[in-house]
């Protein structure tokens, strides 16, 4: 007897509901925006590599070319040296603070128009570290119903009261804030909701946080590099970047690397590096990855034309699906969910799209509410319109009736 019977029973339960997940290899293919899966080349419609930078191959020479035109020699040399170092060796507060972190942090602070920035190991580490550092027992957090799991886990860890407001419902949030007498209040929201493709009403959230003396934290995981001039993000695009108390973003999506950052006032950054436990108690990111993040942030700053094309392609893609009668969960961005309903039906649609060369995946509970399983199309600047047109053909051309929303 292995003693694992309860785990086997759990897995059996997941399998019966089409919810057991297994790993599959997705290998980058030579063509931009494509992957190889089980020996076949597919258009990659599932990754978060919104600018195609995850596939960029840096050499010391190509990196030096970019750096020499953007940095003084000394800083460029710091980045080039980091590109061939693969381990920080310790927490940044011990001996792990390679000078490359500071170069990236200054770049991000400048891009966001804020005093300072702090790089953390992942978006998950940032949200589960920063929220408990800012609020605790007796305080209150106000969280959009569709916020990412890492935010939800951060709130749980903080032990603050959790007030969940209906998705983007400012009246509901206002009522909850009004009824709350906690000394510290934190409003936290995704900028782009990763499973619905909707955007947070940032200006209105800034007004509410002012009215009630709350802090506002925004997670720009899916908007950093994608929205705003230079890819500075949604807060920047909506003109409120300076009014957000805690601007969080990730480096593993449009920036094609790994890690996350907080940008804000110097005092906030000094406080977080003394209090955010995932920052204090974890080995720093590999310097090589931090250097690649810097190179990709710099590259992304020059990609305004690609960003405009991505948004135009996404608008056309959504319009065509809506015209064909599909439900898109209110998406208004490059993340386009095609809502199918039952898990099995979403899996079948993903399998048939994959059979036709489209690497789309089904998203099921617990990532989305039961009965709203969906195909999550993540569009990228690496896709051409003709790539997307072929995909629309496979979904819309009459071989498939519109799916219930
Ligand atoms: N926040 C949001 C909104 C996300 O979608 C994700 C990743 N799916 C994260 C945070 C976590 O980021 P990371 O992958 O860097 O841990």
pLDDT at residue 398 greater than cutoff 70 = no
| pLDDT bracket for residue 243 (50, 70, 90) | very high
Instruction: Tell me: do 260 and 243 sit in the same domain.
Output: yes
Instruction: Tell me: do 163 and 286 sit in the same domain.
Output: yes
Best residue among 189, 197, 221 to mutate for probing ligand 1's pocket (most ligand atoms within 8 Å of CB) is 221
> In this structure, which residue's CA is closest to atom 9 in ligand 1?
123
Q: Which of 301, 327, 349 is the last residue of a domain?
A: 301
pLDDT in tens, 84-97: 999 999 999 999 99
Q: pTM for the complete prediction?
A: 0.96
Best residue among 46, 47, 123, 247 to mutate for probing ligand 1's pocket (most ligand atoms within 8 Å of CB) is 123
Catalytic residues: 194, 222, 253
CATH of the domain at 271: 3.40.640.10
pLDDT at residue 405 greater than cutoff 50 = no
pLDDT in tens, 125-181: 999 999 999 999 999 999 999 999 999 999 999 999 999 999 999 999 999 999 999
Q: How far is the CA of 351 from the centre of ligand 1 (A)?
A: 26
**Pairwise CA distance, residues 254 & 258, whole Å:** 10
Instruction: Tell me: do 326 and 355 sit in the same domain.
Output: yes
Instruction: Tell me: do 340 and 237 sit in the same domain.
Output: no
| pLDDT bracket for residue 312 (50, 70, 90) | very high
Ligand 1, CB within 6 Å, residue ranges: 122-124, 127, 148, 150, 190, 194, 219, 221-222, 250, 252, 260
Q: What does the pLDDT average to over 288-310?
A: 98
**Pairwise CA distance, residues 380 & 254, whole Å:** 9
Instruction: Tell me: do 254 and 325 sit in the same domain.
Output: no
Q: How far is the CA of 46 from the centre of ligand 1 (A)?
A: 14
Instruction: Tell me: do 310 and 296 sit in the same domain.
Output: no
Instruction: Tell me: do 68 and 29 sit in the same domain.
Output: no
Q: How far is the CA of 219 from the centre of ligand 1 (A)?
A: 9
pLDDT at residue 399 greater than cutoff 50 = no
In a domain, 49, yes or no: no
Instruction: Tell me: do 343 and 280 sit in the same domain.
Output: no
CATH of the domain at 310: 3.90.1150.10
In a domain, 122, yes or no: yes
For residue 44, the cross-strand partners are 359
Strand, coil or helix: what is 318?
helix
Beta carbons within 8 Å of 198's beta carbon, 6+ residues apart = 146, 167, 168, 192, 329, 330, 331, 332, 333
Instruction: Tell me: do 232 and 359 sit in the same domain.
Output: no
User: What ipTM did this prediction achieve?
Assistant: 0.99
Instruction: Tell me: do 126 and 32 sit in the same domain.
Output: no
At residue 366, the pLDDT reads: 86
At residue 269, the pLDDT reads: 98
Query: Mean pLDDT across the chain, nearest whole number?
Result: 95
pLDDT at residue 280 greater than cutoff 50 = yes
Q: What does the pLDDT average to over 23-37?
A: 93
| Helix (H) or strand (E) segment spanning residue 176 | helix 170-178
| pLDDT bracket for residue 400 (50, 70, 90) | low
Q: Which of 235, 269, 301 is the last residue of a domain?
A: 301
| Helix (H) or strand (E) segment spanning residue 130 | helix 123-134
Instruction: Tell me: do 232 and 343 sit in the same domain.
Output: no
pLDDT at residue 54 greater than cutoff 90 = yes
At residue 21, the pLDDT reads: 87
> In this structure, which residue's CA is closest to atom 13 in ligand 1?
123
Query: Which atom of ligand 1 is nearest the CA belonging to 127?
Result: 10
Determine the structural domain holding residue 15 and report its residue range.
10-44+304-396
Q: What does the pLDDT average to over 251-274?
A: 98
pLDDT at residue 104 greater than cutoff 80 = yes
| pLDDT bracket for residue 119 (50, 70, 90) | very high
Q: Which of 266, 301, 336 is the last residue of a domain?
A: 301
Of the candidates 378, 354, 321, which has an alpha carbon nearest to the alpha carbon of residue 45? 378
At residue 2, the pLDDT reads: 76
């Amino acid at each position: 007897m292995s003693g694992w019977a309860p785990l086997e029973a759990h897995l059996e339960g997941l399998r019966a509901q089409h919810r057991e997940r297994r790993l599959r290899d997705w290998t980058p293919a030579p063509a931009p925006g494509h992957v190889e899966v089980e020996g076949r080349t597919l258009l990659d419609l599932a990754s978060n590599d919104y600018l195609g930078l995850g596939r960029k191959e840096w050499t010391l020479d190509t990196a030096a070319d970019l750096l020499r035109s953007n940095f003084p020699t000394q800083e460029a040399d710091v980045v080039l040296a980091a590109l061939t170092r693969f381990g920080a060796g310790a927490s940044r507060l011990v001996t792990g603070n390679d000078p490359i972190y500071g170069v990236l942090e200054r770049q991000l602070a400048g891009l966001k128009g804020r005093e300072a920035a702090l790089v953390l190991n992942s978006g998950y580490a940032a949200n589960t570290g920063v929220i408990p550092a800012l609020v605790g027992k007796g305080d209150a957090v106000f969280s959009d119903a569709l916020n990412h799991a890492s935010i939800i886990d951060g709130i749980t860890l903080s032990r603050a009261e959790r007030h969940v407001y209906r998705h983007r419902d400012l009246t509901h949030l206002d009522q909850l804030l009004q009824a709350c007498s906690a000394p510290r209040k934190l409003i936290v929201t995704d900028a782009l909701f990763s499973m619905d493709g909707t955007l947070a009403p940032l200006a209105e959230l800034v007004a509410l946080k002012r009215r009630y003396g709350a802090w506002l934290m925004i997670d720009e995981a899916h908007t950093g590099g994608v929205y705003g001039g230079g890819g500075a993000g949604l807060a920047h695009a909506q003109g409120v970047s300076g009014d957000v108390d805690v601007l969080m973003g990730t480096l593993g999506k449009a920036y094609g690397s790994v890690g996350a950052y907080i940008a804000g006032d110097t005092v906030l950054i000094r406080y977080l590096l003394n209090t955010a436990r995932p920052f204090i108690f974890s080995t720093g990111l590999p310097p090589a990855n931090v250097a690649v993040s810097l190179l990709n942030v710099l590259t992304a700053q020059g990609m305004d034309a690609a960003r405009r094309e991505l948004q135009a392609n996404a608008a056309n893609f959504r319009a065509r699906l809506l015209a064909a009668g599909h439900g898109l969960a209110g998406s208004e961005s490059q993340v386009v969910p095609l809502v199918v309903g039952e898990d099995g039906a979403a899996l079948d649609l993903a399998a048939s799209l994959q059979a036709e060369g489209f690497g789309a995946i089904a998203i099921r509970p617990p990532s989305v509410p039961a009965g709203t399983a969906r195909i999550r199309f993540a569009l990228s600047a690496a896709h051409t319109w003709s790539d997307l047109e072929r995909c629309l053909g496979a979904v819309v051309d009459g071989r498939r009736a519109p799916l219930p929303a």
